[in-house]
A and B are shown apart, each in its own frame.
Chain A
Amino acid sequence: MVETLIWILPLVPTVTALLMLTTRNRLILSGLDIGGSSVLAVLTFILAREVAASGPQAFGVFRIDDLGLIFLLLLAVLTLAVSIYTVGWLKQAVEVGNMKAETLRYYFPLVHAFVATIVVTILADNLGILWIAMEGTTITSAVLIGYHGHHHGLEAAWKYIIVTTIGISFGLFGTVIIYAAASNVMGAASSMSWSAIMHVAPRLDPGIVRIGFIFAMVGYGTKAGLAPMHLWLPDAHSQAPTPVSALLSGILIKCAILAIIRFQMITAAACGTAFPQQVMLVFGIISVVVAMPFILAQRDLKRLLGYSSVEHVGIIALGFGFGGAVGTYGALLHVVNHGITKAIAFMAAGTAIARYDSRDLQSIKGLLTVAPTGATLLMIAFLSLAGVPPFSIFISELMVLRAGIGHGDWVSIAIFLAMAVIIFAGLLHHAGAMVFGKPTATASREPEALSPLFAMLLLAAIMILFGLTIPATFDGYLQRATEIVVG
């Protein structure tokens, strides 16, 4: 039963994508979109219950444990919300000519092909399959990023595909090096399976594993948007169609983090926890510091959110870098919290940009008057991103901070806190300027579309719930995932 589920899961978005190729009707396409995402979500929840009941499950090159499950659940929820959002967003985008009706039949299948590759990266136990699927996400999403077909979109798409392909080839080299080290120990029975490598990890040669980890870290770190390899991220996130931005920031960069965690665990077993943690800390600190000035001086709304993603991926890396049960739990929780919150932020930003027909922060003013619900959602998403209680990100940031204090790395803590405070002020300044004030004359006064609001409210409910209390079932997944990582 569970084994069947594991191989059906990547097939769901694939089949959805193929079905979508058969029609041009926008209503049918949207129906298939929501239908496919719902099936994926339902199957994921069933799989989650099975894993909770009977532990990690493996099927061929695929394997699912509580660690992967957290990412899978995030993916399922975000895909469903994005599908619902797309209905209203698309209607508006087609009306103003941002999306051309005749190219839609390729847009939807590409989104689901993208989701399918993400599912495979999460389920992959074989490190080679992991890499192949990760490059698959690059190829599918590169086309989506350039989908609007204008100058900026194509530039962002080119930069994305080149920078992440360079990065990911480092990841492949890291994989080959770790495989070489493993086959040195395992001999003829060597395999690229992560769980098999984990079995022999304590006997691997530390020197070669260290080099392999550096390569893997730089490689998948590029995909995760860690500075200084983040160059593609603000461009891609800002130029992609809004639903794609939400998926890129919400789940794709988190999957790269999952890949890094897999390599970190091998490295920690082979040469102690100190070395991989130190590497994570360095990249985490650089990301938080690099993001700060760009957030403060930003004029483009979606770029602002892109740089904020760099900051939050940095915080996730800091959590794993500080390590221990608290840091790891906090980092995993931050993966979920940031994924949900950033998706709301991109969706709310997308509707605001459509309303003002501008992405310039200085021309978006008085959103509360023209679109009260959307403005409120944008405001709480920004408040959460800034780390204001009682929203979810506050909790996970606090845990990362607590882990840092336990770790006793005062320099990192000081830098992290200083940046968090400055970014807090910057984000609130930008959000206040957009939401309050007198709306510009050009702002559209049309009533707010229902489906985007519904999608955002769904995610906002999760965001607020996670800020107040973490549901016991989900807490169980996080606890067990933390045990898997910490050992």
Chain B
Amino acid sequence: MSIELVHTIIDDLGGLLLFTMILIVAASQISGAIYAVASQSLFIAIAGAVLATATGNVDLWVIAGITLIVKAIVLPWLLLWVIRRMDVKREVEPVIPILATLALAMVVVVMSFHLSASLDTVRQTITGNALPVGIALTLNGVLVMATRKTALSQMVGLFSSENGIFFTAMAVNKGMPLIIEIGVILDVILAVLVMTIMVLRVRSTVDADIADLDRLRG
């Protein structure tokens, strides 16, 4: 594959990633947000495969595979299972109106592109627009975590934040060392498991949703 073609594909995928990001921020139903983040992970896996073909780096194939299995299939399935198990009736419960969050998300995207436009030299090491898209995804993931009350929405925000980092990391030169990427994914899996256990535990021991926990102040 020629370098130009890789750049074009990565940029197209970046556009799709931003689109799924908007779907996550705008989702009024938690299951919608989960499907959006799953497809986002799928695009990340495709980006990994494209970069693997272009650079001939076998490690990237492994990372793309793990991303596909763990982030696009297993973890979203786990979240959907929790929804069924807990019979979740409460949806995303935004702290500020979704429209306002969307506006903020747009500001974040514009700022990310503006920021990385000033970093010309590093453009050589990061393929296409992976840096601004990565920054935008990470910051918007944080935005979702900060503006939603329910546990599952916060976890979706976490996934998309991690996705942003992975997208940039894949596009750097030849990607991060494999062992580090695997360690990071392992950490994410562990964190999600612990969070899931906590959600179930809060439900079973104090009979409340995470969103109701607001007694610690001052």
Chain A residues with a Cβ under 8 A of chain B? 126, 128-129, 131-132, 135-136, 138-139, 142-143, 146, 149-152, 154-159, 161-162, 165-166, 169-170, 172-173, 176-177, 179-181, 183-184, 188, 190-192, 205, 207-208, 211, 234-235, 238-239, 294, 297-299, 303
B187 within 8 A of A: yes
**Which of chain B's residues 118-133 have a Cβ closer than 8 Å to chain A?**
118-119, 121-122, 124-126, 131
Q: Which of A159, A188, A208 contacts B122 (CB 8 A)?
A: A208
What residues on A are CB-neighbors of B205 within 8 Å?
149-150, 154
B218 within 8 A of A: yes
Residue of B nearest to A188 (CB): B174
Q: Is the interface of B mostly helix, strand, loop or mixed?
A: helix
Question: If the complex has contacts A128-B177, A166-B142, are A172 and B184 also in contact, measured as CB distance less than 8 A?
Answer: yes
B116 to chain A, nearest CB (A): 8
The answer to whether A169 touches B158, judged by C-beta atoms less than 8 angstroms apart, is yes
B195 within 8 A of A: yes
Shortest Cβ-Cβ A-B pairs, 10 listed: A128-B180, A155-B213, A132-B183, A135-B187, A183-B173, A184-B125, A180-B172, A208-B122, A235-B216, A151-B206
What residues on A are CB-neighbors of B62 within 8 Å?
none
Residue of B nearest to A132 (CB): B183
A158 to B195, CA, bound (A): 7
The answer to whether B187 touches A154, judged by C-beta atoms less than 8 angstroms apart, is no
Q: Which of A139, A146, A155, A181 contacts B191 (CB 8 A)?
A: A139
**Which of chain B's residues 14-29 have a Cβ closer than 8 Å to chain A?**
none
B135 within 8 A of A: yes
The answer to whether A176 touches B210, judged by C-beta atoms less than 8 angstroms apart, is no
What residues on A are CB-neighbors of B218 within 8 Å?
294, 297-299, 303
Instruction: For chain B, give the interface size range.
Output: 35 or more
B172 to chain A, nearest CB (A): 4
What residues on A are CB-neighbors of B172 within 8 Å?
176, 179-180, 183
Q: Which of B121, B146, B198 contacts A166 (CB 8 A)?
A: B146
A–B pairs, 6, beta carbons within 8 Å: A154-B205, A176-B176, A180-B172, A181-B122, A184-B121, A205-B121
What residues on B are CB-neighbors of A138 within 8 Å?
191
The answer to whether B213 touches A158, judged by C-beta atoms less than 8 angstroms apart, is yes
Q: Which of B125, B141, B151, B214 contacts A169 (CB 8 A)?
A: B141
**Which of chain B's residues 149-184 have a Cβ closer than 8 Å to chain A?**
151, 154, 158, 161-162, 164-165, 168-169, 172-174, 176-177, 179-180, 183-184
Q: Which of A131, A170, A183, A191 contacts B125 (CB 8 A)?
A: A183
A228 to B118, CA, bound (A): 28
The answer to whether A192 touches B176, judged by C-beta atoms less than 8 angstroms apart, is yes
Q: Which of B151, B161, B173, B216 contacts A180 (CB 8 A)?
A: B173
A296 to chain B, nearest CB (A): 11
Question: If the complex has contacts A169-B141, A211-B115, are A205 and B146 also in contact, measured as CB distance less than 8 A?
Answer: no
Q: Which of A128, A165, A170, A211 contacts B176 (CB 8 A)?
A: A128
The answer to whether A131 touches B184, judged by C-beta atoms less than 8 angstroms apart, is yes
The answer to whether A136 touches B187, judged by C-beta atoms less than 8 angstroms apart, is yes
The answer to whether B122 touches A173, judged by C-beta atoms less than 8 angstroms apart, is no
B84 within 8 A of A: no
Question: If the complex has contacts A132-B184, A183-B125, A205-B121, are A158 and B202 also in contact, measured as CB distance less than 8 A?
Answer: yes
